[in-house]
Amino acid sequence: MCRELPHVYPPGPLAGYYYNVYLHNGHDIFKDHKWGMGQGTDTNRFPFLTIPIGYARTGSPGLYHEGLHIFQYKATSPQYTYTGDGKWIIEASANWNAASKHRDDKLDYIDASTITANPQLPMWYTYENREEGDEKNWQRINHLYGIHTFLNYLTDVCGVSPGVILGGFYANTPDLPQEYMSKQIGPPKFADLFADNAAHNVAGFPKFPAGVEERSARELQQCGKPQDIHDVVRTFSDTGTEGAWIRPPRDFVTRGWSYNVYKINNTGETTYTFRIKGDSKGSEGAPAEFRGRIVVRTGNSWRVEPVTMTSATEGAGTVTVKASDAQVFLVVVATPPFFKGNQTYSYEVLIGREGAASAVPPAAAQ
C-alpha cells in the first residue's frame, strides 16, 4: 500500500518574474534588523527571501521550506492564508516540502514532539487561534510546524498524491485546508488515515527517518515547557480501569481532529479489552465522531490492532500480549465532520484485563 512517490512542484505562473533574495552573514547591514531565514513582504507588497549565507546551498532544507512560500503568494483559495484556522497549512506544507526532499534526515522532523506533547490540540492549532487561557510556549507556538508530520505520513508513507496538499492553494475552494483534503481523499478514508497517523506517532514514528522520536524529544526537553505536556492521559501497570468507565480530565479532552493516549506497562501474558463510548456532540453542538487504535510496542518493534467502531461514537477492540510486550496503548481519535475552532469532543473508555474484575455496565458508569 505504501510507496515512494516523486515530488511535484506546485503550479504557478512564475516564469519571467524576478524575486528579491537577500544573503547575509549576521555582521552586515542587516544585523540591526536581526534577520534570519524567512519569507517577507516589503512596503510595495513584493515578496522577498532573507537567507544566512551558510544556508544558501543546493539541498538546504531551509530553502525548500522558504521556497514553497514563494508559490503560496499565488494561492487562489481564500482560506489558505496566514490567519485563522487555515494558517497552519502555510508552515506545515513548507516543512512537508523540505522533509519530502530529505527522506533520511531526522532533523526535518525536529518539531514532531509538538504534536506528541499535546496530541489533544486540533490539527489546525496555531498561536493565533488558540483557546483563551491556553499557554503560549514553544510546543504550542510550533504546533503548526510539527503537524507537517501528518502531511508527510499521507504522501511519503501512504501514497496520497502531493496534489492533495498543494492543489488546495490554487483550487478556488471556499473550504478550509483540512476540509478540502478530507473531501479530496474521502471523509471516511481521511479519518482513518488520521487515526493511523496517530498510532504511528505513538509507535515512535517508525516509518520516518531513524532517530526522529529521540531527536524531537530532545528538542522538546531543551525548548518546551515541562508543565504543559499532556502526552498520556493515564498510565496503568498490568491492569486497566478496574471495571470503571473513565473520562479524560479537562486539560486532556480531545478537540476536533486530535487524539488522546492511554498507556499500560505490561509484564505478563494476557489479553486486554478496550471500549470507547463517545458523546454524541461536541461542547458546542457539532456532531461527534471517533476512531480508535491499539498500539503494542516491544523494544524497537510495534504493531497496531484496530478498534472496531460499531457507530460514529462507540467501538471496541482486543489485544493479546506476551510478557515481552512491554507497552500497550489505547489511542482515542476525534474525527468529527467539523473542521474549525477549539470545540472539545469528550468520551468514556473502559479498559479490561483477562482475569480482572468484571466491567461495570456503561449505564451505571455514567
Query: For 248-257, how does the pLDDT look when each residue is reduced to its tens digit (9 = 90+)?
Result: 999 999 999 9
- Assess whether pLDDT exceeds 60 at residue 361: no
In DSSP terms, 50 is beta-bridged to 22, 38
pLDDT > 70: percent of the chain: 92
- The rounded Cα 185 to chain-centroid distance in angstroms is 17
In angstroms, what CA-CA distances link 49 with 62, 108, 213, 363? 11, 20, 31, 60
- Assess whether pLDDT exceeds 60 at residue 3: no
Give which of 293, 280, 287 is closest to 194, Cα–Cα.
Answer: 293
Q: Which of 13-27, 75-89, 142-156, 302-316 has the lowest mean pLDDT?
A: 13-27
> Distance between CA 238 and CA 266 in Å, rounded?
5
Domains of the chain: 20-214 (no CATH), 232-365 (2.60.120.380)
- Residue 14 is predicted with a pLDDT of 52
In angstroms, what CA-CA distances link 28 with 34, 37, 252? 10, 15, 47
Q: Span 117-142, mean pLDDT?
A: 95
Place of cell 487561557: 133
- Residue 359 is predicted with a pLDDT of 45
Diameter of the chain by CA atoms?
A: 73
Q: Span 57-63, mean pLDDT?
A: 75
Q: Span 7-32, mean pLDDT?
A: 65
Q: Span 56-62, mean pLDDT?
A: 74
In DSSP terms, 327 is beta-bridged to 265, 297
What's the pTM? 0.89
